[in-house]
């Protein structure tokens, strides 16, 4: 009640004031009118003269104003005329001196070019340095390491016999396993050649040369001309089945790849002959979708053994689909999620009684799917300090095979064998000092780890875990030293083995300055 | 269960394709506006001045980072995807990230050699172009010369002209607008450099020509115009021939324009961080030559510079070398203003 009352009260007060002001105003008006009427009522000779003088003055003043305005207008027009004449002159002056300046600049530039070519001792002064640019870009990456482990048989053998992931004795296309010896190792020298072919294609080839042999890791022709975000790739290349698989080994944050990649895709990963089509969707975020058709030579999940005991399988035998999604994060953050799936033909030949002769053959299909994520923080500080990379991935494999021929137990023919394995990893790296990084990785494989054999037995195997820590120092972008220690808890023959591994790695790159993908 | 999962995957895949097709249609239906992506903020600022309201201009860098160490991010690919014009500093500054961004964008019109790709260094005056065979033992030496050329205002002027010409090719209907904007930008830059009065009287291009030939002062003396010299040229005139030390070899063009001498950098070699033994040599040099200022960008650690300063009494001048690198460096001309003011203050101090 009180506030309402006070408002009312205020209102009343205000109205009072208004009324008194209005009354005052009327009174003043009334007085003014009365005096004016009084003056009109008493006309005077002096007053008449005064009024005439006033009228004349006003007339004169008006005329003066008119002339002044006309004069001003004329002046303005004159000014405009003058400036319109002067302006082209100023512009013309500036244009001539601009031309002179450009001539001077050109003289300086050509002087510089001439000096460059003569001092460099090149005999193509007129061509300058341009003649070099038709050469393909060349680079060489040397990757050498020192390795030691605590096991008697060597980590490589442990990995080949790991429970559930054991070697299938499939015959791929003669991939030599990169053998890690205790002591000094030269992983390979990677030779890269690449250039734009023409306005429509770019191409590159990469050969991994080891001590005894060489392998063409990549030989790719890629389109640069397709519209609507499309791109095609033909040749031999690393599939985009997961981030690790698409990277070259020297780009990994650790010396070796995560266990799940190593065990399910093999030492070389999905490195196949075929084609890839990908499409960058016109979405406000980064969405890249791709399909790949490959010959199918991977010895672990997709391959063709052939021979009289197995049906003929023509290529392409491997199909891959993948999707990469990256939200449009602002500033220093970058995130990418990947989803991938592969399915294809798989054949195996086994030596059941270990006499060195193959005695049963399996045919069917293999299937892999997985997902991974990477988050990067770009601290934007010099020498990589403060940068963070966090990455994790999961892959699952299923094999579904049928016995096509069995020399030892004819009854198994027509029965099936299935395998299901998976694994994941999580890793991170942090630039703790200029040029120094620290990394930690955790691997677990065999969360699902089972098979069903043709004789009906079902096996469940144990998990394998591994922890790795690394520290690396990159004096420049072209050299890197890395120390890595790994400790694994390997499931082997139903038991667990703890083994240590130590790596010292030196990677250097020569030639063309490589660009790094996200 | 397996087939259920497969059908789910398949359905997800199909619905994704449908969505993407929809997005594609929407995208092509949207009206076109000239889109410019510059790699650095300096190029963005100049391009903005020239393009006026006729284009949207974005940049990959934000200005307060070390441009050598930027990583390629998917969001940069998104920026490049719809671009009509890609402007790079060139001279191998972007070599570590350009090709993944342009390749990744699948935008063929901005590939090297296309009309939508402008290398801003094409016409600039270059410095420190190696005349001997370069090896990486020399550090991060660029084959086509020192790429920090935008710190010479004359190069900023040259870049603006190149951008205007390219924009006129890309959008001939707006050629007149770009030309007008260019003239206005050049005029503003010239006035900042030589002072308003002098530019009005002599003309900017003529003044630059005289400056290039080294005849400017003589010319001004002949006509009794010396007092009218203003702007950066007047502010930096008292310090001609003075020596400064810089952190990275990024201030060469600025020093060249205003006739300063940089006898040493804090970095041992370009791109290699300072070491103790090298800094000891720098301390000797600073003492011996009476150097007053150590000039460095805000993104480098101050430790090395502070160490040298504490032993010699030289001043550390932390100043952005790119637009957006510090408060006040709001555009290209403001950046140059900032640099000239900071540096002349430090050099004037006793």
- The pLDDT tens digits of the residues spanning A50-83 come to 888 888 888 888 888 888 888 887 877 776 565 5
Whole-number Å distance between alpha carbons of A481 and A496: 32
Q: State whether A283 and B20 contact (CB < 8 Å).
A: yes
Mean pLDDT for the stretch of residues A32-60 = 69
Q: How confident is the model at residue B4 (pLDDT cuts 50, 70, 90)?
A: low
CA–centroid distance for A226 within its chain: 20
Of the listed ranges A91-105, B9-23, B224-238, the one predicted with least confidence: B9-23
Beta B293-296 vs A214-223: how paired, if at all?
A: unpaired
* pLDDT number for residue A78: 73
CB contact set of B272 (below 8 Å; sequence gap of 6+): A475, A476, B139, B140
- CA dist A421 and A343 (Å) reads 15
φ, ψ at A167 (rounded to 5°): -60, 135
Work out the minimum CA distance from A333 to partner chain B, whole angstroms.
8
Higher-confidence position of A178 and A200: A200
pLDDT for the residue numbered A13: 52
Closest-CA residue in chain B for A129? B144
Q: Does the distance separating the beta carbons of A280 and B73 come in below 8 Å?
A: no
3-state secondary structure A192-234: EEEEECCCCEEEEEEEEECCCCEEEEEEEEEECCCCCCEEEEE
| Omega prior to A432 cis, within 30 of 0 | no
Cβ within 8 Å of residue B7, ≥6 positions away: none
pLDDT of residue A23: 63
Q: Tell which phi-psi region holds residue B313, choosing left (phi > 0), alpha (psi between -120 and 50) or beta.
A: left
- Closest residue in B to A105 (Cα) is B125
What's the gap in Å between the CA of B60 and the closest CA on chain A? 10
Q: In the predicted model, is pLDDT for residue B191 greater than 60?
A: yes
Distances (CA, A) of B201 to A494, B156, B195, B229, B306: 93, 22, 10, 11, 45
The tens digit of pLDDT for each residue in B133-186 reads: 888 888 888 888 899 999 999 999 999 999 999 999 999 999 999 999 999 999
Segment B74-79 mean pLDDT: 92
Q: Does residue A88 surpass a pLDDT of 70?
A: no
Nearest CA distance, B202 vs chain A (angstrom): 9
- Asked if B273 and A383 come within 8 Å (Cβ–Cβ), the reply is yes
Q: What percent of chain A has pLDDT over 70?
A: 83
Mean predicted confidence (pLDDT) in A419-430? 96
Residue A236 has pLDDT above 90, yes or no: yes
CA A182 to chain centre: 36
Q: Which residues in chain A are closer than 8 Å to B271, comparing Cβ atoms?
A: 476
Average pLDDT of span A113-120:
59
Would you tell me which residues 2-61 of chain A have a C-beta closer than 8 angstroms to some C-beta of chain B? Answer: none
Which among B313, B270, B269 has a CA at the least distance from the CA of B290? B313
Coil/strand/helix, residue A153: coil
- Residues of B within 8 A of A434 (CB-CB) are 273, 301
Q: What is the pLDDT of residue A120?
A: 47
Is the CB of A112 inside 8 Å of chain B's CB atoms?
Answer: yes
CA dist., res. B197 & res. A479, Å (int): 55
Q: How confident is the model at residue A286 (pLDDT cuts 50, 70, 90)?
A: very high
Q: Which ipTM did the prediction report?
A: 0.80
Q: Which of B65, B99, B206 sits opposite A97 (nearest CB)?
A: B206
DSSP state of B109: G
Check A289 against B140: CB less than 8 A apart.
Answer: no
The CA distance from A347 to A403, in Å, is 10
**Which residue matches tokens 């605590």?**
A150
Cβ pair B47, B163 in contact under 8 A: yes
Q: How far is A104 from chain B (nearest CA, A)?
A: 7
pLDDT higher than 60, residue A36: no
User: In terms of residues, how long is chain B?
Assistant: 350
Q: Measure A380 CA to nearest chain B CA, in Å.
A: 5
Cβ-contact B348, B320 below 8 angstroms: no
Closest CA to A249 of A233, A238, A234, A264: A238
| A323 contacts chain B (CB < 8 A) | yes
Q: Tokens at residue A135, please?
A: 């050469």
Q: Which of B20, B78, B205 shows the shortest C-beta gap to A286?
A: B78
Helix (H) or strand (E) holding A267: none
- Read off the pLDDT band of A306 (50, 70, 90): confident
Within 8 A of B126 by CB-CB distance, chain A residues are 109, 112
Contact status of A110 with chain B (Cβ, < 8 Å): no
CB contact under 8 A, A381 and B92: no
Are A97 and B123 inside 8 Å of each other by CB? no
Mean pLDDT, residues B294-302 taken together: 93
Question: Which sign, positive or negative, has the C-alpha torsion B279, B284, B289, B292?
Answer: positive
Question: Is A513 in contact with B95 (Cβ distance < 8 A)?
Answer: yes
**For A41-135, where are the E strands, in sequence order?**
none
Backbone angles phi, psi at A94, to 5 degrees: -65, -35
Instruction: Check if the beta carbon of residue A180 is closer than 8 Å to that of residue A505.
Output: no
* pLDDT higher than 50, residue B294: yes
In the block, residue with structure tokens 């510079």: B305
pLDDT at position A128: 42
CB contact under 8 A, A90 and B95: no
Beta carbons of A374 and A417 less than 8 angstroms apart: no
Judged against a pLDDT cut of 60, whether residue A119 lies above it is answered with no
Strand partners, A373: A337, A392
Residue A170's alpha-carbon distances to A152, A427, B193, in angstroms, are 26, 31, 75
- Residue B95 to chain A, least CA–CA distance (Å): 6
Q: Smallest Cα–Cα separation from B206: which of A104, A255, A285? A: A104
Greater pLDDT, A454 or B7:
A454
Put simply, the answer to whether B133 touches A120 (Cβ < 8 Å) is yes
Cis omega (within 30 of 0) on the bond before A350? Answer: no
For B99, the 3-state DSSP assignment is: helix
Pick the range with the lowest mean pLDDT from A175-179, A293-297, A314-318, B18-22.
Answer: A175-179
Number of CB atoms found within 10 A of residue A489's CB: 15
Tokens read off for A395: 């892959």
Per-residue confidence (pLDDT) for residue A183, from 0 to 100: 86
| A229 vs B106: CA distance, rounded Å | 5
What gap in Å lies between CA B319 and CA A158, rounded to an integer? 58
In this structure, what are the phi and psi dihedrals at residue B63, rounded to the nearest 5 degrees?
Answer: 110, -20
Task: Identify the three-state secondary structure at position B64.
Answer: coil
In this structure, are strands B293-296 and B243-246 parallel, antiparallel, or unpaired?
A: parallel
What count of CB pairs under 8 Å joins A to B?
Answer: 165
Residue of B nearest to A130 (CA): B144
| Interchain CB distance below 8 Å, B72 and A112 | no
Compare all CA atoms of chain B with the CA of A343 and give the residue at the minimum distance. B6
Residue of B150, B165, B170 lying closest to B251 (CA atoms): B150
pLDDT at A507: 93
Cβ-Cβ contacts under 8 Å, B60 against chain A: none
d(CA B295, CA B192): 22
Mean predicted lDDT score pLDDT of chain B? 89
Q: How much of chain B, in percent, has pLDDT values that exceed 90?
A: 69
How many angstroms separate the most distant Cα atoms in chain A?
151
Rounded to an integer, what distance in angstroms lies between the CA atom of residue A245 and that of residue A237? 10
Cβ separation of A380 and B99 shorter than 8 Å?
A: no
Strand ranges, E, within A354-457: 360-377, 388-406, 416-433, 436-452
> Tens digit of pLDDT for each residue in A312-333?
888 899 999 999 999 988 888 9
**Separation between Cα atoms, residue A355 and residue A433, nearest integer Å:** 57
Q: Confirm if A178 and A160 have CB atoms less than 8 A apart.
A: no
pLDDT in the model for residue B178: 94
d(CA A279, CA B223): 66
At A240 the pLDDT is 95
């Amino acid at each position: 009640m009180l506030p309402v009352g006070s408002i009312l009260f205020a209102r009343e007060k205000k109205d009072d004031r208004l009324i008194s002001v209005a009354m005052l105003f009327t009174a003043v008006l009334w007085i003014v009118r009365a005096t004016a009427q009084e003056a009109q009522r008493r006309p005077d000779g002096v007053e008449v003269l005064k009024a005439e003088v006033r009228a004349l003055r006003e007339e004169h003043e008006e005329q003066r104003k008119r002339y002044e305005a006309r004069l001003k207008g004329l002046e303005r027009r004159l000014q405009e005329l003058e400036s319109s004449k002067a302006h082209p002159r100023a512009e013309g002056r500036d244009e001539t001196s601009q031309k002179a300046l450009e001539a001077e600049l050109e003289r300086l530039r050509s002087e510089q070019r001439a000096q460059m070519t003569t001092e460099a001792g090149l005999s193509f002064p007129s061509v300058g340095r341009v003649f070099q640019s038709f050469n393909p870009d060349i680079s060489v990456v040397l990757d050498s390491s020192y390795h030691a482990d605590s096991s008697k048989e060597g980590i490589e053998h442990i990995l080949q016999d790991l429970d559930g992931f054991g070697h299938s004795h499939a015959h791929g296309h003669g991939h030599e396993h990169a053998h890690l010896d205790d002591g000094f190792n030269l992983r390979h020298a990677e030779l890269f050649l690449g250039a734009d072919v023409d306005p429509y294609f770019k191409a590159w080839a990469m050969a991994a040369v080891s001590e005894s042999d060489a392998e063409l890791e990549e030989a790719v022709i890629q389109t640069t001309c397709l519209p609507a975000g499309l791109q095609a790739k033909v040749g031999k290349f690393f599939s985009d089945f997961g981030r690790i698989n698409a990277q070259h080994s020297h780009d990994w944050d650790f010396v070796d790849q995560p266990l799940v990649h190593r065990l399910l895709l093999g030492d070389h990963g999905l490195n196949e002959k075929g084609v890839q089509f990908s499409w960058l969707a016109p979405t406000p975020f980064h969405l890249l979708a791709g399909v790949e058709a490959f010959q199918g030579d991977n010895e672990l999940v997709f391959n063709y053994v052939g021979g009289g005991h197995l049906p003929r399988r023509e290529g392409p035998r491997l199909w891959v689909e993948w999707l990469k999604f990256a939200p449009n994060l602002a500033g220093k953050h970058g995130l990418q999620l990947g989803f991938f799936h592969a399915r294809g033909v798989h054949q195996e030949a086994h030596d059941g009684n270990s006499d060195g002769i193959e005695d049963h053959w399996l045919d069917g299909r293999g299937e892999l799917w997985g997902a991974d994520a990477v988050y990067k923080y770009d601290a934007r500080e010099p020498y990589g300090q403060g940068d963070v990379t966090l990455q994790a991935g999961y892959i699952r494999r299923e094999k579904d095979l049928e016995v096509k021929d069995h020399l030892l137990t004819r009854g198994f023919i027509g029965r099936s064998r299935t395998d299901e394995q998976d694994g994941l990893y999580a890793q991170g790296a942090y630039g703790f000092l200029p040029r120094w990084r620290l990394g930690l990785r955790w691997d677990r494989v065999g969360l699902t780890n089972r098979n069903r054999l043709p004789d009906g037995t079902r096996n469940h195997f144990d998990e394998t875990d591994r922890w790795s820590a690394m520290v690396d120092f990159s004096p420049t972008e072209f050299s890197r030293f890395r120390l890595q220690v790994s400790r694994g808890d390997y499931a082997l023959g139903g038991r667990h083995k703890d083994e240590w591994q130590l790596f010292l790695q030196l990677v250097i790159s020569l030639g063309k300055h490589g660009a790094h993908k996200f | 269960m397996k087939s259920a999962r497969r059908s789910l995957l398949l359905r997800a895949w199909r619905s994704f394709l449908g969505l993407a097709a929809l997005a594609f249609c929407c995208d092509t239906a949207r009206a076109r506006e000239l889109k410019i992506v510059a790699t650095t903020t300096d190029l963005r600022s100049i391009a903005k001045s020239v393009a006026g309201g006729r284009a949207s201009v974005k940049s990959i860098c934000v200005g307060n980072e070390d441009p050598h160490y930027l990583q390629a991010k998917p969001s940069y690919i998104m920026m490049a995807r719809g671009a009509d014009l890609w402007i790079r500093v060139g001279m191998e500054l972007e070599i570590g990230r350009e090709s993944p961004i342009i390749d990744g964008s699948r935008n063929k019109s901005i590939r090297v050699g296309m009309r939508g790709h402008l290398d801003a260094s094409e016409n600039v005056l270059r410095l420190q172009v190696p005349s001997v065979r370069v090896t990486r033992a020399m550090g991060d030496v660029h084959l086509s010369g020192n790429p920090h050329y935008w710190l010479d205002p004359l190069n900023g002027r040259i870049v603006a002209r190149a951008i205007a010409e390219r924009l006129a090719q890309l959008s001939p209907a707006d050629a007149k607008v770009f030309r007008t904007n260019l003239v206005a930008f050049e005029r503003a830059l010239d006035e900042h450099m030589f002072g308003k009065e002098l530019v009005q009287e002599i003309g900017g291009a003529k003044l630059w020509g005289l400056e290039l030939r080294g005849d400017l002062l003589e010319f001004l003396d002949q006509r009794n115009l010396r007092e009218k010299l203003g702007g950066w040229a007047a502010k930096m005139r008292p310090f001609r021939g003075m020596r400064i030390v810089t952190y990275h070899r990024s201030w060469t063009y600025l020093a060249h324009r205003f006739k300063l001498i940089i006898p040493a950098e804090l970095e041992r070699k370009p791109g290699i961080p300072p070491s103790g033994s090298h800094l000891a040599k720098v301390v000797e040099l600073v003492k011996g030559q009476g150097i007053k200022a150590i000039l460095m960008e805000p993104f480098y650690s101050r430790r090395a510079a502070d160490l040298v300063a504490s032993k010699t009494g030289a001043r550390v001048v932390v100043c952005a070398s790119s637009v957006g690198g510090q408060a006040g460096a709001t555009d290209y001309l403001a950046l140059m203003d900032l640099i000239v003011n900071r540096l002349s203050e430090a050099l004037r101090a006793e």
